[in-house]
Amino acid sequence: MNLDRRDFIKVLSTGVLAAAGAEKALAAEVDRYKRSPEAVGILYDATICVGCKACEIGCKQANNLPVEHSGLDEYHGVQNIWDSAKDTSPNSYIKIKVHKDSSTAKKDQFENGYSFMRTACMHCIDPDCVSVCPTSALIKDPVTGIVSWDIDACCGCRYCQMACPYLIPKFEYDKAFPKIEKCFMCSHRVKDGGIPGCAEFCPTGATLFGKFADILEEAKKRLTLAEGAEYSYPQHTLDSGKQTPKKAAKYIQYVYGEKDGGGTQYIILSAVPFEKLGLPKLPDHSSASKSEGLQHTIYKGMIAPAVVLAGLAVAAYRSTNQEEKEG
């Protein structure tokens, strides 16, 4: 019995040691990624979005995506909507959703108001999907920072779906040879100096494409506007020359995506609390940084496993030899 207790304590202390290492690792891996200076991004300003869904059309045209029906029409008691995905899906990289509160009398207010929200890939700085993908099928472009998917690599394990805090990667459950689909910020157009279909089609400038540093600066500038102040909102890109003169709404003093989940390249402004718009409250670091921190600590240079294996081998050698002698 004494012996067992000792073993028990041994096991327990090993666990505590490992845990202490883990705690240290968690701190180490935070803040490990920075945005590339050439990173591109999208600024979505919910206060000037008019919910026209032109971005969805622009996206479908730019990426040759078919229309789809998901039962949204029946659910809302209307019929024959020609395109009715409930959420982003393999055929819809963007979805304009709405938050409604009771009387929905006024746009951009929380109580008795409503606000649109454009759900699409956030293109995280430290994407959980990229970190967890066992086949490196999700790739973050080192220059533009665009997160895209590699058809030749993916094994369809859907860990990216489990890990994504925004539920963005979508899987073709209805296909025998399925793919993961998500917004890749029209990297095929951006590569040639173009802009994403959504930004091209947006009539108000609610979806604004540009260098990340520039759009962040633009977002911060908008936060300084007083409610009702006249402001010329640029359309498509910052330097397109087209503008929408408009009175500023009462912004929530926060740029969603600047730091959330370690930061994103798709940033959002709104007058309605972000958590009401389907955007989770996240810490300032990605979940992936935690799991990687743990992994990297335990398996650093494979030293710890090698040491453990050596110990195990010695122990096993002793017991098997003894066994043979006895046997």
Partner 1 sequence: MENLQPLGGKIWTKPFKVLTLLAVIGGIFIAKRFIFGIGSVTNLSDGYPWGLWIVFDVVTSTALACGGYAMAMLVYIFNKQEYHPLVRSALVASIFGYTLAGLAIFIDVGRYWQLYNVFIPPYLNVNSVMFEVASCIALYVLIMWIELSPAWFKQRYGKVPGWLNKIMFFIIAIGVLLPTMHQASLGGLMIAMGEKLSPLWQTQFIPALFLITAITLGYAMVVFESIFSANQFGRPVEMKMLSKLSRFIPFLTIAFLVLRFGVIAFNGDLGLIFRFDLAALMFVIETVLFVFPVVILWKPENRQKINNLFRAAVFFVIAGVLYRFDTFIIVFNPGHGYRYFPAFQEIMITVGIIALEIMLYMIFVKRLPIFPQVKHA
Partner 2 sequence: MSSYFPDSEMKTESPVSGVSRRDFLKFCTIMTATMGLPAGMVEKVMAAVENPKRPPVIWLHFQECTGCTESLLRATHPTVEHLVLDIISLDYSETLCAAAGHQVEEALHASVEANKGNFILVVEGSIPTADNGIYCKIGGKTAMEILKDIGPKAAACVAIGSCASWGGVQSAYPNPTGATGVSELLKEVPVINLPGCPASPYNILSTILYYLTLKKLPALDGEGRPVFAYGRLIHENCERRPHFDNGRFAEEFGDEGHRQGYCLYKLGCKGPETHANCPSILFGDVGSNAWPVGTGHPCFGCAEKGVGFHKPIHEQAAVYTVAPPATYPDFDEPKGKGIGVGAALVVGAAAGAAVAGGLKFSKVLKESDNSEEKKN
Residues within the interface to partner 2 (CB under 8 A)? 50-55, 57-58, 72-73, 75-78, 81, 84-87, 95-100, 104-105, 107, 114, 116-117, 201-204, 242, 244-246, 276-278
Rounded to 5 degrees, what are φ and ψ at 154? -60, 135
Locate tokens 């992994």: which residue?
Answer: 295
Nearest to 180 by CA among 139, 222, 124, 238: 139
Q: Which residues pair with 117 in a beta bridge?
A: 97
Residue type, position 95, single letter? K
Query: What does 15 interact with, of partner 1, partner 2, none (CB < 5 to 8 A by kind)?
Result: partner 1
Q: Which residue has the tokens 């810490």?
A: 283
Contact of residue 319 among partner 2, partner 1, none (CB under 5-8 Å per partner type): partner 1
Tell the smallest beta-carbon distance from residue 241 to partner 1 (Å). Answer: 38
Nearer to partner 2, 33 or 274 (CB): 274
**Residue 33 binding result from partner 1, partner 2, none, given CB thresholds of 5 to 8 Å by partner type:** none
CB of residue 99 to partner 2, shortest distance in Å: 7
- Out of partner 1, partner 2, none, which partner does residue 156 contact, by CB within 5 to 8 A per kind? partner 1
What are the backbone dihedrals phi and psi of residue 268, each rounded to the nearest 5 degrees, phi first?
A: -135, 135
The three-state secondary structure class of 149 is strand
Smallest gap from Cβ 175 to partner 1, in A, equals 5
> Minimum Å distance from CB 157 to partner 2?
19
Which strand ranges, in their side-by-side order, compose the sheet holding 40-45?
A: 207-211, 40-45, 266-269
Tokens matching residue 203: 């009539």
What's the CA gap between 165 and 46, in Å, rounded? Answer: 20
CA distance 170 to 20: 37
Of partner 1, partner 2, none, which one does residue 228 interact with (CB within 5 to 8 Å by kind)?
none
Comparing CA positions, the residue from 110, 86, 92 lying closest to residue 274 is 110
Residues 257 and 234: their CA atoms lie apart, in Å, by 20
Shortest Å distance, C-beta 190 to partner 1? 24
CB of 71 to partner 2, least distance (A): 9
Please choose which of partner 2, partner 1, none residue 301 contacts, taking the beta carbon within 5 to 8 angstroms, the exact cut-off set by kind: none
